[in-house]
Amino acid sequence: MSESGSVDWKVVEGVLPAGWRQMAAQRKLVRPNLPKHMGTVVTDIGQILRLVLYQVGRNVGLQTAAAAFAAAGLLEISSVALHKWMKKLGPYLAELVAAMVSGSHSVFAAERWAGYEIVAVDATCVQRPGAMGTTARVHRALRLVDLRVLKAVVTDQTGGETFRRFVPEAGQLWLGDRGYANPPGIAWVKDHKGEVLVRYNRGSLPLYDARGIEIDVLSRLAKLRKPGWSRQWQAFVHAAGNDRIEGRLCAVRLPADKAEQARERLRREQGTDLTQESLAMADFVVVFTTVPSSRLALEQVLEIYRVRWQIELDFKRDKSITGLDRLPNFLPNTIESWIYAKLLLHQVLRSLADQNVVIPPCASELADAICTGYGGKRAA
CB count, 10 Å around CB of 373?
16
Has residue 22 got a pLDDT over 90? Answer: yes
In this prediction, residue 102 carries a pLDDT of: 61
Contact 374, 68 (CB under 8 A): no
Predicted local distance difference test score (pLDDT) of residue 282? 94
Strands (E), 228-353: 230-237, 245-253, 284-289
**Residue 331 binned pLDDT confidence (cut-offs 50, 70, 90):** low
Q: Report which DSSP code applies to 142.
A: E
What pLDDT is stored for residue 40 in this prediction? 55
When mean pLDDT is compared over 124-128, 156-160, 162-166, 307-311, the highest value belongs to: 162-166
- Output the pLDDT for position 361: 63
pLDDT tier for residue 316 given thresholds of 50, 70 and 90: confident
With b for 16 or more beta-carbon neighbours within 10 A and e for fewer, the 66-86 pattern comes to bebbeeeebbebeeebbbebb
- Residue 93 has a pLDDT of 92
CB neighbour list of residue 318: distance below 8 Å, 6 or more residues apart = 324, 342, 343, 346
Give the pLDDT mean for 148-169.
Answer: 86
pLDDT band at 146 (very low <50, low <70, confident <90, very high): confident
pTM of model > 0.85? no
Question: Quick one: pLDDT band at residue 1, thresholds 50, 70, 90?
Answer: very low
What torsion, rounded to 10 degrees, do the Cα atoms 240, 243, 248, 254 define? 0
Asked if residues 374 and 6 have their Cβ atoms less than 8 Å apart, the reply is yes
pLDDT over threshold 60, residue 235: yes
Compute the distance between CA of residue 18 and CA of residue 348 in angstroms, rounded to an integer: 13
With vertex at residue 114, the alpha carbon angle to CA 113 and CA 120, rounded to the nearest 5 degrees, is: 45
Cβ within 8 Å of residue 187, ≥6 positions away: 237, 239, 241, 242, 245
Percent of the chain with pLDDT over 90: 50
Q: What is the pLDDT of residues 89-113, one digit of tens each?
A: 989 998 898 788 665 455 777 888 9
pLDDT at 85 over 60: yes
Residue 318 pLDDT: 73
- The total of other beta-carbon atoms located within 10 Å of residue 125's CB is 13
Q: Which is more confidently placed, 62 or 374?
A: 62
The rounded distance, in Å, linking the Cα atoms of 336 and 95 is: 13
- pLDDT of the residue at 80: 92
Residues 241-266: pLDDT tens digits?
889 999 999 999 999 999 999 999 99
pLDDT, position 155: 79
Average pLDDT over the chain reads: 84
